[in-house]
Each structure stands twice: as C-alpha cells, then as structure tokens.
A and B are shown apart, each in its own frame.
Chain A
Amino acid sequence: MELKLAGKRLSLPKLGLTVVLAAFGVLMVLPFVWMLSTSFKIPIDVFNYPIEWIPKRFNWNNYQRVWNGSQPFDLFYYNSVKVTAITVVGTVLVCSAAAYGFSRIRFKGRDAVFFVFLATLMIPDQVTLVPRFIIFNYLGIYDTHFALILPGMFTAFGVFLLRQFYVGIPEDFSEAAKIEGAGHLQTWLRIILPLSKPALVSLVILSFTWNWNEFVNPLVFLASKELYTIPLGLTNFIDESGTDYTLMMAAAVSSILPVIVLFLACQKWFIEGVVSSGVKG
C-alpha cells in the first residue's frame, strides 16, 4: 500500500499512524496554543466560541502591562535567572566531584555512602520541609536566595546521573594520566570532565529546568516579595491581578518561554538526560 506524493513513496499504514499520533501531539500542545493566543487578546474576546485560535482583534499591550504593571515582574525574572544560574554551576561542581569520588576512586566505605545517597531519593520533600525551615532560620539564611540555592545544588539525582556516566569511561584513561604523574584533582579536571560533556550538558539542562520551575522552596523559605522567583511571583501576580485572563496568559507565557526555548534548542540533550535518568536506573 503506497501513495505517491511529490515524487516520494509514502506507505499508507505509516501515514495512518502518523495522522493518529500527530493528532495526539496537537491535542497535547493545544493548551499552549490557547495560552499564547489568549495573551494577545482583549479581555472580552477570551471566551469567544468557536475558539479564536488567532485573535480577531490583536492586542499587543498585555506583555507591556505584565512587565510594567503593579508586580515587579522584571525583578522576579532577574531573581530566577540569578538563582538558577548559581544553582546550576554549583550542582555541576558538587555532583561531578562526588561522582568522580564514587566511581573512579576505590576507598573504604564508598559503596555504603553511595547507597545512602540513593536511598534519600525515595524520601519525599515534605519530610524535610519543616526541619529545613528551622535549620535555615538557625543558620540565618531563611528569606535569602541561599535557601533556594543550597537545596537545589545538592541533588542525589545529579550525582547518580554523572556517576553512571563516569563508570563507563575506560580505566585506561585515568591510568595514563596517573603514569604521567597527574593526581586525582588533575585527572578529574583534565580528563574526566572534558570526556563527560554529554552527561554534563544533560545535567545542566535538567537542573536548569527544575530550578527554574521550583515552587515549594521559594514558597516556604522566602517571605520578602523582592526575592520571589518567577513561579512564586506568578501566583502572586494572579492573586493580585484578579481575573483578567489576557494578563494571566501573558504572564504564564513569559514564565514558560525560557525553558521552552532551551528545550527546542537542545532537545537531544534533554531527551538523553531523561533517558539516562530512567533506563540506567
């Protein structure tokens, strides 16, 4: 069963399956399309039916009103960029060093410690929330960005992801470095880190996404509005802007955009990160 189209042979069963799955895919992105189109509407057109996927009356002002409105959206954005950037750099350093220790150096107690690390993956965040709140108060970092950066940096998942990759790097590479007199620090920096670029990129992207989207930590550990990151700022925005859906959608688009752009630009790494989090686990 084949169909000729523009000189190409298309198999009919394959085409049928494509149509079904593409329809499913379109259904999955419809909420995003609706969000985007509503962000360019005027309030009375929001719920017109049949749905106006492309607004009849375009309104370009919503984004301007979100960004220059009563809520310091630009400040929330700046906070998110700052916290996310520092956290991602910290995550890479902490996790890759730990992963090196757990995979390339043999020492007493290593496997036991690693097992404890893995076990903590099962503990729900809710268990540690109250004590962290108390500890942060005690350390004086409650209501500072450190209260978001620190929990973001120490992710057992990141250690696990990189360790899985490091284990796969042949021992010969470090042996060669050792013979040339390199210590562990140099082997890590000069050999293992450059070799593990794919895993690092995956970790950077996943960690960026999680920290950009993080909501519970800011909710519990921040009190001052000028420290809010985007997700918390967004709920704050909704609470105070009432029911102007066009503004809500413009704010939602603004908050999602950086991650979507990153995702579209690096989908391959995204997907590899997800796969290594799953299959090798």
Chain B
Amino acid sequence: MRSMKIELYPFSEKMRVSGGGRKTLTWAVDFGCRKGEIAIRTQKQSDTLAGWMFILPAIAGFGILTIVPIVLSLIISFTDWNFLDGLKGLRFIGLRNFTEMWSDKWFVDSLRNNLLFAAVTVPATIALSLLAAIGLNKGVYLKSPIRLMIFMPYVSNIVAVSIVWGTLYNPSMGPINSFLRGMGVADPPGWLASSAWALPAIMIMTVWANVGYNMIIYLAGLQGIPRDLYEAAKIDGAGPARSFFRITLPMLSPTTFFVMITSIIHSFQVFIAVFVMTKGGPGSSTTVLTYYSYRTGFDFYKMGYSSAMAWILFLIIFLITFLQWQGQKKWVHY
C-alpha cells in the first residue's frame, strides 16, 4: 500500500489527503469534526460505488435491450429500409412513413380493430372481474377452488388456449355452435370464419383469459376496505346498494384505476390470439397494429414502416395513459 498523508488545515474547514495517487483529494470537512464524520463522508463515496455496482447488470441489460432499441427504433421509423439490403439500403425519408400510413387500408383497419377491441374488452373484463371479486369477498363456500377455476385461464399459454378456442368456435361442428343450435338458434354465428364475428370471438376469449388476473387484484383491493365503514353506514340506515355505490366503489377507485390502465395497455398489445386464430382475417377483420407491424417488418422486410407503426401504437398507449392520469383526480380517491 502506498503511504498516504492527511493534512488538516486549521481555520479553513478543509482536509487534504495526498499520496494515495496522483490526484489530491480535498474534502470539505468541518475542522472541529469528530472522527466519525470523516468516516461518514468516505462511506457515502463507497456507497455510490456499491450502489452502481448492484444495479449495473440490470442497467447494462436494459441499456442494450431496451434503451438503445427505443432510440434505434425512432431513427428507423424515419427511414425506408429493407433489412436484407444491409445498412447501405437505409434511406431517410423524413416523416413519410407517418404521413402515408393514414391512406393504407390495412393500417387504418388495424387501428379501428384495436380501438374496438379495447372499447369492448376493457369494460367487460373490469365488470366481470369486479362482480366475481365482490361475490367471492362476500363469503361463499368453496372460495378457494372457485377462485382457482376463474384464475386458471390466465396462467395457461395463449397459443394452446387459442388452439382450443379455435376448435370450439368451429362454425359447422364446433361445440359452441352445436350448443347454440341445441338451444334453438337456427343460424349461429360463423365465428372465426365470418368477418363480422371473428373479432368478437377473439374478444370473448381475451375477456375469458384476463378476468382471473383482475379479479385477484380486486379481491386484494376489497380486503383493504375497513369493515367499520360498512358498519357505520348500516347504523346510518344505508342499504346494500347505497353502501356499494357510496363505499365500495369509491374505496376501490385506486384499484379500478390500476386495472383500467393495465387492461388498456394489454388490450392494445393483443397479438398471439390473432396470430394463431385468424392471421388477421377474414379480410382485414381481425388485423391489429401489433400484428400488421410484425408482418410489415418480418414478412415484408419494411423495417422503417414497421417501426413507425410501432411508435404510433406507443403514442396511443402513452396518450391514453396520460389522459387517464390527468383525469384520475375526478374519480380516484386515495
């Protein structure tokens, strides 16, 4: 170890350490300090180092896998680029990807389907999961097996689940239509084979898959509501409907806010169900932004256009989240 010299400057509130290296460090330490305080200063420096060391692997991974890609993606979205041509084929075309997409029928239809999909699946999932949670929370027999059954679709992989539902939806022979015919429906929907019913079919499956997750979140939210609130309401003569609207719903509003934001974000990212069940068809009836952007990039090799659409998707998600965040003051009670 190299020798170190510590000089204390009387009257100047400074201490000088030299000899540890070429640099001379000067710390601002009170002249009249006790030994402990110098220790704290050095501790802080080593904490900074230790802190960065602990988060370093995560930061490196995120840098390479998320931050750099985001920047690259933005740059690529301003280009016309076929990946197979290599970097030489990269041409900057300014905002053209962003302006021309609006006259692309497939993009417009994808966007429309995404909006429809969110408008139906988000409220339906929230309503069903809230009802199920309230029911379970009221106290039922067999609570845990019922909760298990409702949650099961969420853990199963969507590829397998889409294959199963695709068979259930079989228009001529599938069990769903056999059942409907048995119930007296003469002309049941063509489901995945019909351009009117394919999107609703995927919506139904998506709601089915997500109810369990949101129900668990709601159950936790319900358990956080103090019992005395209900008792106080009862003493004041409030009926069950009144205490539901005056206590349960307001007290659950932070949970609903969370469920809504995550459901909307997830609904815009629907991909696997479309990929496995319909490939976007029939026609353009079930194509969505994630699917069309994937096809554009990895089937047609138009990386620039694909990235531009991915950014539109992100902007929509961002905008909706932002508006929700702004609007929460009106209805979310913390």
A188 to B57 Cα, complex, angstroms: 15
Residues of A within 8 A of B217 (CB): 274-275, 278-279
Given A159-B58, A184-B54, A231-B157: A238 in contact with B70 (beta carbons within 8 A): no
Closest to B266 in A: A124
Residues of A within 8 A of B161 (CB): 31, 252, 256
Residues of B within 8 A of A108 (CB): 48
Closest to A273 in B: B216
Residue contact A102 to B293, C-beta cutoff 8 Å:
no
A260 to B165 Cα, complex, angstroms: 18
Residue contact A34 to B175, C-beta cutoff 8 Å:
yes
Residue contact B317 to A122, C-beta cutoff 8 Å:
yes
Q: What is the size, in residues, of chain A's interface with B at 8 Å between Cβ atoms?
A: 95
Indicate whether A100 reaches chain B with its CB closer than 8 angstroms.
yes
Closest chain B CB from A154 CB (angstroms)? 4
Closest chain B CB from A62 CB (angstroms)? 14
Give the contacts of B253-272 with A (CB-CB under 8 A). 255, 258-259, 262, 265, 268-269, 271-272
Residue contact B151 to A271, C-beta cutoff 8 Å:
yes
Indicate whether A61 reaches chain B with its CB closer than 8 angstroms.
no
Residue contact A256 to B313, C-beta cutoff 8 Å:
no
Residues of B within 8 A of A219 (CB): 275
Residue contact B321 to A122, C-beta cutoff 8 Å:
yes
Indicate whether A63 reaches chain B with its CB closer than 8 angstroms.
no
Given A132-B65, A252-B164: A47 in contact with B174 (beta carbons within 8 A): yes
Indicate whether A209 reaches chain B with its CB closer than 8 angstroms.
yes
A22, A154, A248: which has the most chain B beta carbons within 10 Å?
A154
A14 to B140 Cα, complex, angstroms: 6
Indicate whether B138 reaches chain A with its CB closer than 8 angstroms.
yes
Give the contacts of B68-96 with A (CB-CB under 8 A). 68-70, 72-73, 76, 83
Residue contact A127 to B313, C-beta cutoff 8 Å:
yes
Residue contact A124 to B317, C-beta cutoff 8 Å:
yes
Indicate whether B24 reaches chain A with its CB closer than 8 angstroms.
no
Residue contact B155 to A260, C-beta cutoff 8 Å:
yes
Given A21-B132, A123-B314, A154-B65: A101 in contact with B157 (beta carbons within 8 A): no
Partner of A279, one of B136, B221, B272: B221
Interface size class of B (residues with CB under 8 A): 35 or more
Given A110-B51, A259-B155: A47 in contact with B170 (beta carbons within 8 A): yes
Given A274-B216, A278-B220: A128 in contact with B70 (beta carbons within 8 A): yes
Indicate whether A182 reaches chain B with its CB closer than 8 angstroms.
no
Consensus secondary structure, chain A interface: helix
Residue contact B62 to A124, C-beta cutoff 8 Å:
no
Partner of A235, one of B62, B147, B164, B276: B276
Residues of B within 8 A of A271 (CB): 147, 151, 216
Closest chain A CB from B275 CB (angstroms)? 8
Partner of A281, one of B51, B157, B258: B258
A69 to B54 Cα, complex, angstroms: 47
Partner of A259, one of B51, B157, B170, B271: B157
Given A14-B140, A28-B211: A102 in contact with B66 (beta carbons within 8 A): no
Closest to B205 in A: A31
A156 to B58 Cα, complex, angstroms: 9
Residues of B within 8 A of A279 (CB): 217, 220-221, 224, 255, 258
Closest chain A CB from B297 CB (angstroms)? 5
Given A235-B276, A248-B167: A105 in contact with B47 (beta carbons within 8 A): yes
Residues of B within 8 A of A25 (CB): 145-146, 148-150
Indicate whether B300 reaches chain A with its CB closer than 8 angstroms.
no
- Binary per-residue interface labels of chain B (132-176) against chain A in the complex, 1 for a CB within 8 Å, 0 otherwise: 100110111110111111111101111111011101101001110
Indicate whether A212 reaches chain B with its CB closer than 8 angstroms.
yes
- Binary per-residue interface labels of chain B (208-232) against chain A in the complex, 1 for a CB within 8 Å, 0 otherwise: 1001110011001100100000000
Partner of A107, one of B51, B135, B298: B51
- Binary per-residue interface labels of chain A (236-263) against chain B in the complex, 1 for a CB within 8 Å, 0 otherwise: 0010000001001101110110011001
Indicate whether B50 reaches chain A with its CB closer than 8 angstroms.
yes
Indicate whether A234 reaches chain B with its CB closer than 8 angstroms.
yes
Closest to B43 in A: A178
Residue contact A124 to B258, C-beta cutoff 8 Å:
no
Residue contact A28 to B153, C-beta cutoff 8 Å:
yes
Q: Can you list 26 A-B pairs with a CB-CB distance of less than 8 A?
A: A14-B138, A17-B139, A22-B146, A24-B150, A25-B149, A34-B168, A49-B182, A50-B182, A105-B54, A107-B52, A113-B55, A126-B269, A126-B290, A127-B73, A128-B66, A130-B306, A135-B64, A154-B58, A184-B50, A188-B54, A209-B155, A212-B157, A249-B163, A263-B152, A278-B217, A279-B217
* 6 smallest beta-carbon distances between A and B, as pairs: A101-B54, A25-B149, A131-B69, A154-B61, A107-B51, A98-B58
